[in-house]
Amino acid sequence: MMLKKIVLYGLLSVLLLITITSCGSSSNIGTSYPTVNSEASLHKPYVLLISLDGFRWDYVEKYKPQHLSNFIKNGVSAESLISAFPSKTFPNHYSIATGMYPENHGILSNIFYSNKKNKVYSIRNRETVTDGDFYGGTPIWMLADRNKMVTASYFFVGSDVEIRGVRPTYSKDYDGKIKNETRVSQVLDWLALPKKQRPHLITMYFSDMDDTGHRYGPNNESEIKKALFNLDENLGDLFAGVKATGLPVNIIIVSDHGMAAMSTANLIPIETIQNDSLFLAIDNGSMVNIHPKDGVEIDAVFEYLKQNEGHYEVYKTEDTPGFEYLPKNKDWGAFQLIPDPGYYFSNEKNMMLLKQNNISTIGVHGFDSENKDMHGIFYANGPAFKKEYTIPSFQNIDIYPLICEILGFEIPNNIDGTISNVQDALNPDND
Ligand code: AMP
Ligand code: ZN
Ligand code: ZN
């Protein structure tokens, strides 16, 4: 009897291994990911969540790319999608993934100091990016996993990290050099899997508009248009491929933030602010978190910073403008430096490089959402959505409950987002 059981488990493990490796995913073995959909999941619709990093709210209206314009015409679009403060890539993607504000999911920005880990998290440091301890909340693929649904991700912040033992069923370690065409064909391959193994929730990510926006600034019409039209071709192929499956796929296209033009003459070198004996300064460009050193008088640090203000203002964290809530997370630090409008923090090395290359304008983001340049996009199309319909701007934390609603998951009550602002996007005739 025992032997039979061992043989059976052995066989099952081999089968599991074959299924996983044949899907081209990274190694997800030894965890609880469902490799097959439950009976209930088989009858659920599909959600394909696409993030277009740094895609500003007004690009489609301005440049009218063919495929995206058609997509919007036959679906729902929001006036804009409002990012959480600071409007940076990691906190906002992870707000979309968890329905929580950065304060509550823990990824405060692209770089921050973690008191718990006594370590600086940075998106440039793979070791911290892939350390699941930094990531709070329940990302949507984890919730799907709990609902015994197969999921997949061709990149999304958090999807290449074991968060409390869970990753999407199929996922890829982040590599920005992977061609868009490869991402599109893999997603279509996932949708072509036998229904038991076919993911009902898929995320994907394209960085093109962010890359171009930073490099040339969002007002460089020829460069923005070129990048946008190339990306639009990839999306056109994806839409056509998805349509050909005949499956009830709901495609949701979002961005994490917009982009503002910045004169390189208005960059503030962080070196002029740093003082290692008084505080740790964590520079995010649009905000600098100040963590006074142990044993240093906090008020003295504030006074010191106040005296040295120049093209930026010093605030106590709780008084800092831009937050959607009263910030309480200790990882923000005691004070924040906020640049004056039209200014941004940088460093001497970067400023030197810009000067050597005669670059006078770049694109930046991270400012609060009072600045509409920071707003992103929300476009959706599929059986769950109304057609030819526009809704007002809403916050990206509301996307999580929207996906819950479509996939029939109970909306957790510990998130910050609500369904009420997006309910109107849903097609009431859809069962
Ligand atoms: P930023 O514009 O500085 O807020 O960040 C954008 C950058 O984040 C892009 O250039 C991407 O290369 C990078 N990025 C996006 N997703 C990931 C990921 N999952 N892991 C590491 N880097 C990422
Ligand atoms: Zn971004
Ligand atoms: Zn960016």
Q: What is the DSSP letter of 83?
A: P
- pLDDT tens digit sequence for 109-132: 999 999 999 999 999 999 999 999
CB-based neighbours (< 5 A) of ligand 3, an ion: 54, 210
Task: Examine the pLDDT at 4 and tell me if it is beyond 50.
Answer: no
The residues that bridge with 111 in the sheet, in sequence order, are: 122
Nearest CA owner, ligand 1 atom 8? 89
- pLDDT tens digit sequence for 269-281: 999 999 999 999 9
How much is the average pLDDT of 276-304? 97
Q: For the purposes of burial, counting CB atoms within 10 Å of the CB of 357, is it exposed (0-12), middle (13-18) or buried (19 or more)?
A: exposed
pLDDT at residue number 29? 43
User: pLDDT over 90 for what percent of the chain?
Assistant: 91
pLDDT at residue number 24? 40
Residue 155 CB–ligand 1 contact under 6 Å? yes
Residue 296 CB–ligand 1 contact under 6 Å? no
Two tokens, residue 16: 């599991």
- pLDDT tens digit sequence for 181-214: 999 999 999 999 999 999 999 999 999 999 999 9
Residue 51 CB–ligand 1 contact under 6 Å? no
| Nearest ligand by distance to the CA of 153 | 1
Q: How far does residue 351's CA lie from ligand 3's centre (Å)?
A: 17
Q: For the purposes of burial, counting CB atoms within 10 Å of the CB of 5, is it exposed (0-12), middle (13-18) or buried (19 or more)?
A: exposed
Task: Examine the pLDDT at 1 and tell me if it is beyond 60.
Answer: no
Q: How far apart are CA 333 and CA 216, in angstroms?
A: 33
Write the CA distances from 374 to 84, 110, 257, 283, 286, integer angstroms: 10, 16, 5, 19, 12
Return the CATH class of domain 2-259+371-425: alpha beta
Higher pLDDT, 23 or 161: 161
Nearest CA owner, ligand 1 atom 15? 157
Q: How far apart are CA 336 and CA 59, in angstroms?
A: 31
Q: How far does residue 294's CA lie from ligand 3's centre (Å)?
A: 33
Q: How far apart are CA 210 and CA 223, in angstroms?
A: 12
Write the CA distances from 47 to 199, 260, 275, 383, 407, integer angstroms: 9, 31, 48, 10, 8
Q: What is the DSSP letter of 196?
A: T
Going from N- to C-terminal start, the domains of the chain cover 2-259+371-425, 263-364
Q: How far apart are CA 215 and CA 265, in angstroms?
A: 15
Nearest CA owner, ligand 1 atom 20? 174
pLDDT at residue number 297? 96
Q: In a mutational test of the pocket of ligand 1, which residue from 159, 210, 283 has the highest number of ligand atoms less than 8 Å from its CB?
A: 210
Q: Tokens 């439950």 — which residue? A: 38
263, 342 Cβ separation under 8 angstroms: yes
How much is the average pLDDT of 398-409? 98
138, 30 Cβ separation under 8 angstroms: no
> 263-364 adopts what CATH topology?
Gyrase A; domain 2 (3.30.1360)
Two tokens, residue 277: 């004996």
155, 26 Cβ separation under 8 angstroms: no
Residue 173 CB–ligand 1 contact under 6 Å? no
Pairing label, strands 267-269, 249-254: unpaired
State which ligand 1 atom lies nearest to the alpha carbon of 155: 19
**Rg, C-alpha atoms of the chain:** 22
pLDDT at residue number 430? 87
Amino acid at 177: K
- pLDDT tens digit sequence for 8-25: 444 334 333 333 333 444
Q: How far does residue 84's CA lie from ligand 3's centre (Å)?
A: 14
Write the CA distances from 86 to 4, 41, 89, 327, 332, integer angstroms: 57, 36, 9, 12, 11
Report the alpha-carbon angle 255-256-262, nearest 5: 105
Q: How far apart are CA 156 and CA 203, in angstroms?
A: 6
Q: Which of 162, 139, 144 is CA-nearest to residue 38? A: 144
Pairing label, strands 76-78, 378-381: antiparallel
Report the alpha-carbon angle 385-389-391, nearest 5: 95
State which ligand 1 atom lies nearest to the alpha carbon of 256: 4
The alpha-helical segments, DSSP class H, found in 276-371 are: 298-307, 348-356
Q: How far does residue 88's CA lie from ligand 1's centre (Å)?
A: 9
Residue 129 CB–ligand 1 contact under 6 Å? yes
Cβ neighbors of 362 (< 8 A, separation 6 or more) are: 214, 215, 216, 217, 261, 262, 264, 354
Q: What is the DSSP letter of 412?
A: P
Q: In a mutational test of the pocket of ligand 1, which residue from 92, 93, 123, 178 has the highest number of ligand atoms less than 8 Å from its CB?
A: 123
Tell whether the torsion through CA atoms of 342, 347, 350 and 356 is positive or negative. Answer: positive
Query: Could you tell me how many helices (H) and strands (E) the chain has, helices first?
Result: 14, 20
Mean pLDDT estimate for the chain: 93
Residue 256 φ then ψ, to 5° = -85, -25
Q: How far does residue 98's CA lie from ligand 1's centre (Å)?
A: 18
Q: In a mutational test of the pocket of ligand 1, which residue from 87, 124, 207, 212 has the highest number of ligand atoms less than 8 Å from its CB?
A: 207
Nearest CA owner, ligand 1 atom 22? 123
264, 361 Cβ separation under 8 angstroms: yes
- pLDDT tens digit sequence for 358-399: 999 999 999 999 999 999 999 999 999 999 999 999 999 999
Q: How far does residue 97's CA lie from ligand 3's centre (Å)?
A: 18
- pLDDT tens digit sequence for 46-60: 999 999 999 999 999
Higher pLDDT, 30 or 61: 61
